[in-house]
Amino acid sequence: MPLVTSTEMFKKAYAGGYAIGAFNVNNMEIVQGITEACQEEKAPVILQVSKGARAYANHTYLVKLVEAAVIECPDIPIVLHLDHGPDFETCKACIDGGFTSVMIDGSSKSFQDNIALTKKVVEYAHDHGVVVEGELGTLSGIEDEVVVEGEGSYTKPEEVEEFVSKTGVDSLAIAIGTSHGAYKFKPEQCTRNAEGVLVPPALRFDILKEVSKRLPNFPIVLHGSSSVPQEYVKMVNEFGGKMPDAIGVPEDQLREAAKLSVCKINIDSDLRLAMTGTIRKFFAEHPDKFDPREYLKPARANIKELVRHKLVDVLGCAGKA
Ligand code: G3H
Ligand code: 13P
Ligand code: ZN
């Protein structure tokens, strides 16, 4: 099937109590690892491209790689989405250039400026059959090139109805305690469970529930939802890397969110960790090798298995294509 928008996916996900995985893509191996897992697990998927990815790999290469995945994975619906669109021009270039979904990230602007910009993108996108994700509230960490200092700010539930009705957005990203990157929580913010594992503070499910009450049947998006698998953090550290105290969002909390109104869960850092850990290990164990195919092959395979785990155990979207 051709590329689709997320409209039908989100309707089914909302009704079925699961979420669609939105995975960032930057090169061929990442596209292949993700989509092979989705094809085998019969899971719908959103492949998303950031401003940084377009700068790195080039718009056309990324679109063509995703189009190749559409051909190779005939049994699953695939959305091509712009992640953290920074301005109208970037969104327009993606809408004109084959994307079926865009995010306009006006979250660092004032409420009124965010509304005005998001509305402008929605009008253009809808005229071209493309759907739009907006954002209210800011995540701490790095949102593409925008560094948000300190705690970020949680979404204010009392703002969501006005934002959605005035802009016409199709989905809304909210801030409930997730953040971008591999260092989402400091060890001193966490408690230790019986096994000695650090457990971060819970996400603000109270905010999520209040938003959902005010926006019935409306798809909510969670950014910054990597869980930072400790297996890969250890692998990175064991084979020459230095990532002390990398901590992510516990997967059981994401599963809970997916049962509620969260229909799209963004995961990027976990795939980066899997790829980097695997390549570091390969080089340490095979210092004589220099063929990129030899180290990219196990990296791609581990991305695939990690995505499979997310689809089956976290998102609940396996078998929903
Ligand atoms: O939220 C940002 C995504 O992880 C994309 O990151 O801007 O480094 O491509 P990037
Ligand atoms: P992570 O850094 O937690 O993977 O978040 C990715 C994201 O939100 C992309 O928009
Ligand atoms: Zn994000």
Q: What is the pLDDT of residue 1?
A: 82
Q: Is 225 in the pocket of ligand 2 (CB under 6 A)?
A: yes
Q: What is the pLDDT of residue 141?
A: 54
Burial class (CB in 10 A: 0-12, 13-18, 19+), 220: buried
Burial class (CB in 10 A: 0-12, 13-18, 19+), 91: buried
Instruction: Single out the residue of 101, 114, 123 nearest to residue 22, CA to CA.
Output: 101
pTM over 0.85: yes
Amino acid occupying residue 299: A
82-105 per-position pLDDT tens digit: 999 999 999 999 999 999 999 999
Give dist(CA 310, CA 287) in Å, integer.
32
Q: Is 264 in the pocket of ligand 2 (CB under 6 A)?
A: no
Amino acid occupying residue 212: S
SS3 call for 81: strand
Give dist(CA 221, CA 234) in Å, integer.
29
Name the closest-CA residue to atom 9, ligand 1. Answer: 52
* Residues belonging to the chain: 321
Ligand 1 atom index nearest CA of 268: 4
Please report where in the chains the tokens 């969110």 appear, as a residue.
257
Alpha helices in 77-204 (DSSP H): 88-96, 111-127, 160-167
Q: Ligand 1 mean position to 223 CA, how many Å?
A: 10
Q: Percentage of the chain surpassing pLDDT 90?
A: 93
Q: Is 52 in the pocket of ligand 1 (CB under 6 A)?
A: yes
83 tagged catalytic: yes
Q: What is the pLDDT of residue 151?
A: 55
Kindly give the parts of the chain with pLDDT less than 50. Answer: 142-149
Q: What is the pLDDT of residue 147?
A: 45
Give dist(CA 163, CA 169) in Å, integer.
8
Q: What is the pLDDT of residue 245?
A: 93
Q: What is the pLDDT of residue 139?
A: 87
- Chain centre distance of CA 69: 18
Q: What is the pLDDT of residue 53?
A: 98
